Amino acid sequence: MIDGGRLWRRLSELGEIGKQEEGGVTRLSFTDEERAAKDRVASYMVEAGLSVREDAAGNLFGRREGKTRDAPVVLIGSHVDSVYNGGNFDGPLGVLAGIEVLQTMDERGMETEHPIEVVAFTDEEGARFSFGMIGSRALAGRLSPDELEHEDADGLSVAEVMRSRGLDPERIGEAARPRGSVRAYVELHIEQGRILENEDLPVGVVTGIAGPVWLRFILEGETGHSGTTPMNLRRDALAAAAEIIGVIEAEAAATGTTVGTVGQLDLEPGGINIIPGRVEFSLDLRDIDQAVRDPTEERILEKAGDLCRRRGVRLEVETLQRLSPAPCSELVRDAAKRACERLGVRPFALPSGAGHDGMQLTDLCPMGMIFVRSKNGVSHSPDEWSTKEDCSAGADALYWAVLDLAGGV
């Protein structure tokens, strides 16, 4: 269906922009590299016969008109910014596949009722300002000028770098699309996990985007001499933490869908012959269903409280971040499922553990995603890889799903 060779060539070309000695790409938002990537993407949009423009947030759009000119637009795309030394597929695949889909429609003389736009969102990754999804937040009308004060490592704010790129942060509101103006948002993206590889499938239909809760556990026990303190007289903060981590693993696993990770742990004083008196550790708990995630969190906290009381350890829990999961809409999931069937691929549903721009759009329009198999599940790394065949299959699935949603089949 789509031209897999052309898609692959563009992916390779775009991968040269911001290429690092270590083998990955670094394209942080509002840098020369990101600008060059957007310019290259804009040139592909022109080749595809699309009309090109950028909005007040720097989001880049290529539009193809529908038969009904004022009908709500079907929006497809992703991002071209990256993390530090990231991979070449996370983001660019969705943008370039979107262009490929519209160019194919053009070449085949396909008409659709609804107009279709490809978007390259500004700063999805958040690598520069530790505040991502700037473009999609703006498009959803969820971003105000005062939220543009996040600073990068050099102390430059989002607002300042926007000005240096000719954008007016005070006018960020103009990027917001009115409700009812977007029929659906569909994003093709690499899975960044190994579920599809495990199922031996090139593509899958995303059920929802997981929302993370980030907690910090602070345990205060009592420091003591490891040789002179009998086991029954200890208030070992690390032993308590170890038990809580076991509870986290068991409670998350018991749901079948929730994932819980303790990725940071600090202990004091940290001597080989000293009982740890204080421990701090993080928890990242995610699920695509809040009705599963939140009770899991409650059970973990209840058990943690009980076992700390039993051990004479004081427990304090801080919430660092709490994002709502974003279920994908039936409308988009069904279209993606039918697209898989057309391609002869078993429709397979899987969640997204990672965050994506679609999360920001749930109040604006029906949202959904199609995943492409990732080699070894590796992402945010120069080793990130999806085969040419799988990228083509993903773009083909996107083609049929978009044609379906835009009223062309």
Q: How far is the CB of 15 from Zn ion (least distance, A)?
A: 15
Distance CA 38, CA 31 (A): 11
* CB nearer to Zn ion: pick between 90 and 287: 90
Q: Which SS3 state, helix, strand or coil, does residue 326 take?
A: strand
Q: Give phi and psi for 272, each to the nearest 5.
A: -65, -25
Number of residues that bind Zn ion (CB under 5 A): 2
Number of helical H runs and strand E runs in the chain: 10, 16
* CB nearer to Zn ion: pick between 91 and 221: 91
* CB nearer to Zn ion: pick between 90 and 123: 90
Span near Zn ion by CB under 5 A; candidates 87-95, 270-278, 302-310, 399-407 = 87-95
Omega of the bond prior to 115 within 30 degrees of 0, cis?
Answer: no
Q: Give phi and psi for 196, each to the nearest 5.
A: -65, -40
Q: How far is the CB of 244 from Zn ion (least distance, A)?
A: 32
H or E element that contains 51 = strand 51-54
Q: How far is the CB of 332 from Zn ion (least distance, A)?
A: 17
Q: How far is the CB of 208 from Zn ion (least distance, A)?
A: 16
Q: How far is the CB of 150 from Zn ion (least distance, A)?
A: 19
* CB nearer to Zn ion: pick between 90 and 117: 90
Omega of the bond prior to 269 within 30 degrees of 0, cis?
Answer: yes
* CB nearer to Zn ion: pick between 122 and 296: 122
Tokens 């490592």 belong to residue: 153
The alpha carbon of 219 is separated from its chain's Cα centroid by a whole number of angstroms, namely 32
* CB nearer to Zn ion: pick between 82 and 296: 82
- Taking CB under 5 A as the criterion, the residue among 81, 90, 152, 236 binding Zn ion is 90
Q: How far is the CB of 79 from Zn ion (least distance, A)?
A: 6
Q: How far is the CB of 81 from Zn ion (least distance, A)?
A: 9
Binding to Zn ion by residue 91, rule CB under 5 A?
Answer: yes
* CB nearer to Zn ion: pick between 79 and 333: 79
C-beta of residue 331 within 8 angstroms of C-beta of residue 148: no
* CB nearer to Zn ion: pick between 66 and 91: 91
- Within positions 387 to 406, which residues make up the interface with Zn ion, using CB under 5 A? none
Span near Zn ion by CB under 5 A; candidates 89-97, 248-256, 273-281, 282-290 = 89-97
Task: Please report how the helices 388-405 and 330-343 are oriented relative to each other, as an axis angle in degrees rounded to 10.
Answer: 130
- Within positions 362 to 391, which residues make up the interface with Zn ion, using CB under 5 A? none
| Bridge-based pairing state of the strands 203-209 and 326-327 | antiparallel
Q: How far is the CB of 44 from Zn ion (least distance, A)?
A: 18
Binding to Zn ion by residue 55, rule CB under 5 A?
Answer: no
CA–CA distances in Å: residue 75 to residues 62, 109, 160, 400: 10, 20, 29, 14
Tokens 């020369």 belong to residue: 32
Distance CA 179, CA 171 (A): 19
The residue ranges that bind Zn ion (CB under 5 A) are 90-91
